[in-house]
Amino acid sequence: EVKVTDRPMTMHGLSGMKTGSLGPKRQVYDKSYYIGELRKRCTDLQEEVEKMNKEAEEVRQDNQLYASLEKRYDTLVKTVRSLEGDLADHNLATDKQRTDTQPEEVQHMYMMMKQQNDTQRAEVDQIFLEKKSHEEEI
């Protein structure tokens, strides 16, 4: 007859009845034991080295992919900027045509902007030359 109070409690985090070890452990560690241990550790090391080599190869491939995608991105950005400039020119021409602006007025605006750009370019060149001469003095 089994009494409930004699049974060990196992469902509430307490351990059940302890059993003895499954057998005696190795009593004498001889040469073959240590050779087996060394082989096991060598195998573990080889697996770890292979894993690290694989990870390094993946990183290298990712870097190559990133570099190629970055070059493609730069090319696409230049293309987009060029197309945006063309679109702005087209929109400006369409706007001038829609507002009945005379071609002479557009030509006059062009000449004024060209003159301003030439003036600014001369100023920038002069500042660059002054800076270069100061650097040569130093």
Model confidence pLDDT, tens digit, residues 48-91: 999 999 999 999 999 999 999 999 999 999 999 999 999 998 99
pLDDT > 60? residue 16: no
Q: Which residues of 86-118 are buried (b: 16+ CB within 10 A; e: fewer)?
A: eeeeeeeeeeeeeeeeeeeeeeeeeeeeeeeee
> What's the confidence (pLDDT) of residue 33?
86
Quote the pLDDT of residue 22.
Answer: 60
pLDDT at 10 over 80: no
